[in-house]
């Protein structure tokens, strides 16, 4: 097809998009561990929820397992960015394993908050999604029953605390900002004395990516989000885009997943990526669109990010 025969389209690129500082750090930890100790290095759970990232690290010598029992005691093990229950590093120490914790510092902040509330005698509500590794990790910071999980507004309405004056809430870091505000609103109306986090638990990267997708969804009939169905923040971006006015929003692992029928009648397509999706997948998607359309790329930036996290001392040396 010559450029003249291709239908025109605007590609609106969300900014910020893709890798956050916690994901970047977790990947650097695996790469640094492989340099320091050689292959194989074991990683408990997918280091970040992205198949492309996991496959690249596997090719370098990382071995991904779901449980610590599957790691030999004489090889280093890394815990994923989502965080782990306290029992996991305790078991690694008991087996005298070398372990490096790649938990994002913003998830660790939530763990510390939960511990402080428990020490102050408060019952804790965690707003999050059951079964997500971050939720399992946060609930596993305290003994069973210390944290109650709330997933929906209906559950917030039905919740019965032990003592409404001794209640605090924390949240998963990758939730929908708007849905969470609704759940928190219900809890605060019912329990006005409930203690809130000093600083929002939903992380800067989740918030910024949702703001950016909202800004472009107003102008795009279709929004494509690159990410994995396991990635909470990526799935939220699809929901946020639809709610913000996009006619359609789709989650794709890469350009190969695109069904080009989605493009019928589309004059502007929004493109973004979840916090665990690498930029080369975005570039490949933009190139695939450009191969079929006479495209013009425009970046829709809502904020400039400059967050970085230090590596654990064992690897920074
Ligand atoms: S999405 Fe947020 S909490 Fe999760 S790794 Fe990235 S910065 Fe950390």
End-to-end CA distance of the chain: 54
Q: What is the pLDDT of residues 2-18, one digit of tens each?
A: 667 899 999 999 999 99
103: CA distance to ligand 1 center in Å? 9
Around ligand 1, the residues with Cβ closer than 6 Å are 20-23, 81, 104, 106-107, 173-174, 203, 205-206, 233, 275
Using alpha carbons, select from 59, 48, 100 the residue that is nearest to residue 76.
100
Q: Is the peptide bond before 40 cis (omega within 30 degrees of 0)?
A: yes
Q: Can you tell me which atom of ligand 1 is nearest the CA of 20?
A: 6
DSSP annotation string for 206-253? HHHHHHHHHHHHTT-SEEEEES-TT-HHHHHHHHHHHHTT-SEEEEES
Contact 241, 225 (CB under 8 A): yes
Question: Tens digits of per-residue pLDDT, 206-221?
Answer: 999 999 999 999 999 9
Nearest CA to 124 out of 178, 176, 188, 194 is that of 194
Establish whether 134 is a catalytic residue. yes
pLDDT digits (tens, 9 = 90+) for 29-60: 999 999 999 999 999 999 999 999 999 999 99
pTM, full prediction? 0.95
246-299 pLDDT per residue, tens: 999 999 999 999 999 999 999 999 999 999 999 999 999 999 999 999 999 999
Partners of residue 298 on adjacent β-strands: 12
Which residue is closest in CA terms to ligand 1's atom 2?
203
Q: Counting atoms of ligand 1 from 1, which one is nearest the CA of 107?
A: 3
Q: Which of 106, 132, 176, 231 to mutate to test the pocket of ligand 1 (most atoms within 8 A of CB)?
A: 106
For ligand 1, atom 5, name the residue with the nearest CA.
22
Per annotation, catalytic residue among 46, 113, 123, 134: 134
């Amino acid at each position: 097809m010559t450029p003249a025969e291709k239908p025109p389209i605007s590609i609106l690129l969300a900014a910020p998009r893709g890798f956050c500082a916690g994901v970047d750090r977790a990947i650097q930890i695996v790469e640094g561990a492989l340099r320091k100790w050689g292959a194989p290095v074991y990683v408990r759970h997918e280091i970040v929820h992205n198949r492309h990232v996991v496959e690249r690290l596997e090719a370098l010598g990382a071995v991904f397992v779901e449980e610590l029992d599957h790691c030999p005691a004489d090889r280093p093990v890394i815990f994923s960015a989502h965080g782990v229950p306290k029992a996991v590093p305790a078991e690694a120490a008991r087996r005298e394993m070398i372990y490096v914790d790649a938990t994002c510092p913003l998830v660790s902040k939530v763990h510390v908050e939960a511990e402080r509330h428990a020490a102050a005698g408060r019952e804790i509500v965690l707003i999050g999604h059951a079964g997500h590794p971050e939720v399992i990790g946060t609930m596993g910071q305290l003994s069973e029953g210390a944290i109650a999980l709330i997933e929906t507004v209906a559950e917030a309405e039905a919740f019965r605390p032990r003592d409404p004056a001794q209640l605090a809430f924390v949240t998963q870091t990758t939730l929908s900002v708007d849905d969470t505000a609704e759940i928190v609103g219900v809890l605060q109306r019912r329990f006005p004395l409930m203690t809130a986090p000093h600083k929002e638990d939903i992380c800067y990267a989740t918030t910024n990516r949702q703001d950016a997708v909202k800004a472009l969804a107003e102008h795009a009939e279709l929004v494509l989000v690159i990410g994995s169905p396991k990635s909470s923040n990526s799935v939220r971006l699809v929901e946020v885009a639809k709610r913000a006015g996009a006619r359609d929003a789709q989650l794709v692992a890469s350009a190969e997943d695109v069904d080009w029928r989605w493009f019928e009648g589309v004059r502007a397509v929004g493109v973004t990526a979840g916090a665990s999706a690498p930029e080369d997948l975005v570039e490949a998607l933009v190139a695939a669109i450009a191969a079929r359309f006479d495209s013009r790329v425009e970046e829709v930036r809502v904020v400039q990010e400059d967050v970085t996290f230090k590596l654990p001392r064992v690897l920074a040396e």
